[in-house]
Amino acid sequence: MYSRLMSTQDRLIESTQELLWERGYVGTSPRAIQERAGAGQGSMYHHFAGKPDLAAVALARSAEQLRALAEERLATPGTAYDRIAAYLEREREVLRGCRIGRMAQDPEVVADPRLRAPVEETFSWLRGRIAEVIAEGVAAGDLAPATDPDDTAAAIVAVVQGGYVLARAADDPEPFHQAVRGALALLHTD
């Protein structure tokens, strides 16, 4: 599954990222991580103090990747509406949900400040970054003057996370796409 050139440490982190996304924290055992990474128990404990340490690193990497994907779309040229649309309409594995959002639903992650931190920081960053784009749009006249950047950014993040939940519940990506279309229709001023 992994390239021989990838270090054992990176294989362990990537395996943990995938397993957390698929199974959540409780469902991700050290044995499953080791098997997926093709690494032995000694290798895992050589690089990490244990499952919580490895999971914290994996969550931080997933958060970093999510922020980079969002920034790539939010920093594109165009109006604020165009940039938000680029973020909302980007290609996603809708039925798998959000790597980070899933962790917010995991009681063990939420209960552990170190594991919860990348989740909380990512959503805080995302709301702030989208609010910046919205504020730019209001100032430029691209969005309605009464649009509150913070409230609207929170709603956009909620649309994405809620859209994942609706799509997974229906086992169909269409509810996600409906939520995105609805959010964009609310932002559109023409």
pLDDT of residue 2: 53
Position 100 in a domain: yes
Position 85 in a domain: yes
Position 20 in a domain: yes
Give, in degrees to the nearest 5, the angle at Cα 133 between 90 and 101.
50
Number of domains in the chain: 1
100-143 tens-digit pLDDT: 999 999 999 999 999 999 999 999 999 999 999 999 999 999 99
Position 172 in a domain: yes
The two tokens of residue 74 are 């939010």
CATH of the domain at 54: 1.10.357.10
Looking at the predicted structure, is the pLDDT value of residue 163 above 70?
yes
Domain region containing 38: 8-187
Position 1 in a domain: no
For the chain, percent of residues with pLDDT exceeding 70: 97
Which of 29, 26, 21, 31 lies closest to 61, judged by CA?
A: 21
